[in-house]
Structure 1
Amino acid sequence: MSGETVLPAPARAGRGRFATTVVVLAVALLVTLVISLGAGQYPLSPMQVVEALWHALSGHAAPSPAAGVVTSVRLPRIVLGVLVGAALAVSGVAMQAIFGNPLADAGVVGVSSGAALGAAASLTFGLSVLGTWTTPALAFVGGLAAVLAVYAISRSGGRTEVVTLLLTGIAINAIGGAGLALLTFLGTSSTREQIVFWQLGSLNGALWSSIALVAPLVIAGVVATIVVARRLDLLALGERTARHLGVRVEALRLFVIVVVAVLVCAAVSFAGIIGFVGLVVPHLMRMLIGPGHLRLTVASALGGALLLAIADLIARTAVPLADLPIGMLTALVGGPFFLWLLVRTRRQAGGWG
């Protein structure tokens, strides 16, 4: 007999599905990116796109205006969309893991409402402490403060019950919504339009400088989720079982909540509120490759990036001379999917899909 370990047939099949899914998602993402770089009000052929990218990578300035369109306008927007999509999808994986429910997403713990409140305060009061970074910075601080407040309020006796965390999140969301309504009322017509557009989500105006801030946070959040993936698998067996197997449930829950806050705050600070990505993508990936959180995190990151890349392509090209809000497009897809998921979960008495 050889010393090789022979995997059971289901394990081999699961690994095969995971590999196939990752390859398909990666190829689809690459194709979407190439199409997106060429599509728009200034259409470019694939050869022009490749030429512009080659000149950018080689460090030589391209004489054609295509290089400016690709490297300064479309590529930053696409890269930011990929990062935002991956961040939101992975945050959904983490939230569903610690809540043990496929209907959970980052909005449950108040991240989105807190970020919206911070951004609205910046716009309404005309704050410019950090220049153009003021609104993203206050959005980040608002989202992080909201999630930490939810955790602090719901913690009692050294523990945090999931139900209490959920109810506290609902309360914080309500407070954030009321504050957002007040700031919208106090603002001028211009600031109201800015607040509404920010709430709908958009990648318009993406810059390499903003990507330089978002990318490290997103990468760190995804890596952190991968690191605790094994413990999330054990947590799925139940808190009591996880503790028996050596998992520090409370520390894990706090760690995951902070990771989710960083991921979502990094995303919404520059792209606004984009809903349903963290709900739809992880559930679809779970249906394809199973519930293992390591594989689920990797596949969801690719799936979220692909979804945002497609949504951004549609937002830029669906209506001539217009830029549709991405949050509106994801809601058009995510709303019906959420209703289907709700009915399906109810029929299965709250089981995993």
Structure 2
Amino acid sequence: MRCVNIMTANGVQDVRSWEQPIETGKMPESGAEFDAIVVGGGPGGSSAAGYLAKSGAKVLLIEKEVWPRDKICGDAVGGKSLSHVQELGVKADLEATPHFRVTGIMFSSPKGNSVRVPLPEEDVQRLEAGYALPRAQFDSLLFDRCQQLVRDAGGSVIQGGEVRSVLFDDGKGGEDPGEGSGDARHASGLVVRIGGRSGEERTFHSRELVGAGGYRCPVARSVVESSYGEEMVDRDHYCGGYREYWRNVKGCEESSGDIEIHFVDTVIPGYFWLFPVSENVVNVGIGMVMGLMDKQKKKLKALQADVIANHPMFKDRFADAEMVPGSAKGWQLPFGSPRKKADRQPRRSSMNGIRLVGDAASLVDPFSGEG
């Protein structure tokens, strides 16, 4: 990809920093103790680690991947999130990186009727309405800032760290009461493998764990499945998502404007979206409840291709467009909608010594798909 000089908030020329490695310092030794351990370096985990560090806690932040890395998403950053972006010291850098400024949302119905919902003008003028930019950029900016906060507060950061197991005891330093023992268990640490399948395992201790590892978060599984024997995945409350990046989509050439949400008849009750992420680049995707995908035997990639090629609202807009090679990827979203069988809604998100956040806690908005 072409390198572009970006002027950061401190006036330094930066060459696409989100495509560069992030230096996170020395690995902690096995046996090290922390006030809190955060698993997952996405927006939820990075923010949790950053706020904990700002409060004076000694934090270990663990990310399974190594930067640079991509993350599949719709790429919109809503106004509700921007106060946290500001508090964590990232907003100026976000402004300096290529992005699309959101000023409204365009909705359309299966019959082709449409309505535009403008975002509050005062928020737009204050640059607080919302942005859209690739998660590769946003996550890199946020992780880099928060890992520095963690290290400045005396904590440590690990990239390429895979959680192999969550450690438990009885809350008094005694033996683990075992799987299915629920409230009798208390988290005491983690075993982490560093450097891939042949890497070494290290043990870290803390009485407070934050699980922010996404829809497959190992900390979440240790709570929901291992400790309480409850159902982790309910496909009637999980959404399948599929994303591609496209260039030269008609009506998406500017650097500010509307994001689009289209309720297409073949996708109901999901939706088809067009979220510009920079000038002339668009995140194009589709999402649908996985239980319904199973029943209707639908595949999102084929469904999206059909909408783009044949739907009367979109085929002309994509006539001269081209997909960015390698950008087609899928993922899952655990909704926060009520589940019939769950004692805790949408599912259990905490236990002694563990708190889950973001997708790991099944907190995705079932209408908008926001995490």
TM-score of the pair, normalised by structure 2: 0.26
Q: More helix by proportion, 1 or 2?
A: 1
Structure ranking higher on relative contact order (CA contacts 8 Å, 6+ apart): 1
Q: More strand by proportion, 1 or 2?
A: 2
TM-score of the pair, normalised by structure 1: 0.27
